[in-house]
Each structure stands twice: as C-alpha cells, then as structure tokens.
Amino acid sequence: MNVLTVTGLRKRFGSVVAVDGVSFSVGAGEVVGLLGPNGAGKTTTLHMVFGLTTPDSGTVEMFGHDMAHERSRALARANFAASYLHLPHMLRVGEILTVYAQLYALRRPAARVAEMLELLELGPLRRQPFSRLSSGQQTRVLLAKALLNDPGLLVLDEPTANLDPDIADRIRGLLVEQAATSGRAMLITSHNMREVERMCHRVHFVSGGRIVATGSADELAGAYGVDDLEAVFLAVARGGVPT
C-alpha cells in the first residue's frame, strides 16, 4: 500500500518550469531517494507534497487523503525536516518539543517528549536555547521534532547537509534503525550518494524538473554502465542516458 502517491505534478515560476510532470509513489516501510543537481526541482516537489506550494497541475495523495482537500488529516500522520529550516531560536529544546507535541495533538505530550530526548540523546540539552546549539545538535532537535508524532511518512530534505561526517553517520544510523524498527516510510533528498546508497531502497533521479531515471542504486549503476550512484549522478547531471 502506498503512503504517498504523487501524480503528474507540474509547477512553473514565470518562464521557468521547475517541476514538469513528476509522478512517483512511496510504499509503506519504503525509503525512497529523490536525487538530482541543484535546481532540478527536488525541493519544489517536496514543498508541493506538503502543500507549501500549490502545483499548477497534478495531485498528491498521502495516506489516501487528497492533499488539496484533506490536508490536516494527511499532515497529522507525516512529518518534515530540512537542513534549511530552524526552530524558534529563543525557545529551549524541551520547550520546542513540548510545543510541537501539542501542535501534533499528542495524547501524552510530556512522555513522548521524554522519549524523543532520550532517543536523540538530547536530555542534557533540554534547557538549552536552540540558538546556542551546534549544527549537529540543532539537526538532532529537528529530527526529534520530525519523529514526535511517530509519522508514517517522514520527509527529509538534505538531512545531513552541514554536518561533520561523524554526526552525519550517527544520524543516518538512527534513521535507518528507525525505518527498520517502525516500518516508517521515508522520502529523502541528499547530495551525499553514499548516504542514499546506504538508506534508500529506491531512487528517482530528477533533472530539469523531470524524473529521468528510477531504480535501486545497483540497478541504476548497471543501467548507466558505471560503478556507483555518484557516477550515475554525474552522468545524469551532464545529460547522460542509460546505456
């Protein structure tokens, strides 16, 4: 069963076609990567998935709910984190999570916040204002926020951008473990091909607003006659086609 079905999404900003007929789906428990060069239309696609940007045409269905008409129902079961988003700077870590626990209408907000603080090893930071945290700590808080409602679909836009390799690896490990144990579906964009190889069951390459290649990392490498996903990325970015 699909938790997310995107059909024929198209978006034009002035004379620029940012997304041009993108269709894909994410099944329950599946981890899907959306890859492509800068300006390929990945973030615009994710923002249309969440209703932040209205598509010119096409539909988004999340957990069987049409995002155009049943947005709240769908959003209650999903969550989103992005490296370019922050959280209220003045608020302390524990306060931020408590606020979001209430925005997601959790039945036992305090208990769930405590669980997230423990899972993301944020306990010692719970009284620290968000503005005083390092990039790695801020990313952990953003992920704690994104996991609060135990989402059936977690969408991450470049989750480990700006992190050092050690912290990025820990976060990847946590996300892989979470996906495996909870059966959570994930949709991820990243410029780190090793990260995508490690995490994603299936990958869609986006270029010029279109999906130009789909498959597992191995299938794509085979199709392009290269060794790994990084080489596929370079081939796609330079206009290459499957051999």
Partner 1 sequence: MTIAYDVTSGAARRSRVVGIVRRDFYALRGNGGRLLEIFFWPVLELVIWGFVSVFLRANNVPIAVSMLLGAVLLWQVVGRAQGELAAMFLHDVWSRNLLNVFVSPTSLAEFLTGHVIFGAGLIALSTGVMSGLALLLYGFGITTIGPALVPYLTLLVVMGWGLGVVSIAVVIRFGESTQSVAWVLSAAFQPFAAVFYPVGVLPPVAQAIAHAVPASYVFEGLRGVLDGRGIDWSGVAMAALLDLILVAGALAFIAHALRHARRTGRLSKFGE
Judged by the rule CB under 8 A, the positions of this chain that interact with partner 1 are 11, 13, 18, 43-44, 47, 50-54, 71-73, 75-76, 78-80, 82, 84-92, 95, 98-109, 112, 129-130, 145, 149-150
Distance CA 234, CA 237 (A): 5
Place of tokens 């036992």: 108
Query: C-beta of 80: minimal distance to partner 1 in Å?
Result: 5
Beta carbons of 23 and 9 less than 8 angstroms apart: yes
Nearest-approach distance from CB 131 to partner 1, in angstroms: 8
In the bound state with partner 1, the residue whose beta carbon lies nearer, of 209 and 221, is: 209
Closest CB to partner 1 among residues 126, 201? 126
20 φψ region: left (φ > 0), alpha (ψ -120 to 50), beta (else): beta
Place of tokens 């059966």: 183
Least distance (Å) from partner 1 to the CB of residue 81? 8
Q: How far is the CB of 113 from partner 1 (least distance, A)?
A: 12
Residue with smaller CB distance to partner 1, 133 or 217: 133
DSSP labels for 24-40? EEEETT-EEEEE-STTS
Q: Residue 118 or residue 218: which is nearer to partner 1 going by CB? A: 118
Question: Given the complex with partner 1, which of 66 and 218 has the nearer CB atom?
Answer: 66
**What does the alpha-carbon distance between residue 160 and residue 81 come to, in Å, rounded to a whole number?**
11
For residue 45, the minimal CB distance to partner 1 (Å) is 11
Q: Could you tell me the two tokens for 41?
A: 């239309």
**Alpha-carbon gap, residue 209 to 196, rounded angstroms:** 20
